[in-house]
Structure 1
């Protein structure tokens, strides 16, 4: 089936992965081992439902603080993370070029921070659709989010190619019938995309 739609992850694809970088910086500043602190923070996202919109950032960090000493305010914590999401202009250019022939979308497990980052950088305008787990109440941890997204786009999964830097997300997308490319480098991603679309 011919591909009609290209779907991009945000952090790690459209932008540098600010969450992972920021959380590890926070760990170092607070005297925690970066990798174990990162895993704790990731688990807390799922436990609180932060990426599903069930709590706001204050509720999320309050929960984290019940698990580990974290002598920083929610604002200070956010300020370590959001500036590290640096939009990659070459990915934006690719998306805009693809948008002339195909439908394009963002599919992100971001929180409301995605909206704040768009206010800062204005990247939503380069895509035709934006799907954010925080607003949709579902996440890429569930295969159903991929099928729901295809349904909203009124396409079969086989009509989409999904780009993400997370192997688990790629596996779940493939599992529902989507085409998928694991983002490792921009050059590698562009080469693999050529199997599905004209760039």
Structure 2
């Protein structure tokens, strides 16, 4: 993980956490690799195609449902499978990280607000209905509902305005560096999540209380 803290920033009063890759393992990427290997396809090529499609089709923006996306996916990759099977295949790989839910709880106990900021589809609500993780956060911002993604600075601006928090008092954590760069450009504090132990040290340094046990 590459730490990106600006030393001039005040202690954050609001923490935004990405879902896939931070709160949970990145299930979509893992699923695409597994589907490709099972079909004898190039994993990197399938993964790249799937990520391109999820944005290009408007799936992450709430413009289509999964049936339209999976049809486009099958046509682009040659990988078969019924819609329900493919959807379950992906959702099963978004494995929640208990340490992240514990972190969200600890922050809120200390008066630090928390929110999910994610480029996800309607699957996010379906996963919450099964796992019940929304309750660990003050708000959930999802591209599918917002009609914007983290590729757009406007999405960050909108969520900051909704939370009534200036950029310099917010921390954003994501596993995708371009999203982190956009947050930094807007004046937010940001962390590029890669390694858990480095992430814990960076979080510990930002808050004047213990978040993690030794």
TM-score range, shorter chain: over 0.9
Tell whether 2:168 aligns with 1:158: yes
Q: Within 2, Cα distance between the matches of 1:93 and 1:185?
A: 17
Match runs of 1:121-132 below 5 Å: 121-132=131-142
Superposed CA deviations along residues 38-95 of structure 1, whole A, max 9, x for unmatched, are 0001110111010010111111111222323122111111121111111111110011
TM-score (norm 1): 0.96
Pick from 18, 29, 39 the counterpart of residue 48 of structure 2: 39
Instruction: Show structure 2 runs of 5+ residues with no match.
Output: 1-9
- Residue by residue over 1:12-37, the C-alpha shift from the partner in whole angstroms, topping out at 9 and shown as x without a partner, is 11111111111111111222100001
How far has the Cα of 1:2 moved from its partner?
A: 4.2
Partner of 1:53: 62
Alpha-carbon distance in 2 for matches of 1:67, 1:23? 13
RMSD value, Cα: 1.2
Residue-pair matches, total: 199
Does residue 74 (structure 1) correspond to residue 92 (structure 2)? The answer is: no
**Gaps spanning 5+ residues in structure 1: where?**
none
Aligned partners of 1:41 and 1:64 also within 8 Å: yes
TM-score, with normalisation over the residues of structure 2? 0.89
- Distance in 2, Cα, partners of 1:129 & 1:114: 13
- The question of 1:145 aligning with 2:138 is answered no
Task: Using the TM superposition, name which of 2-11 and 63-72 deviates more.
Answer: 63-72
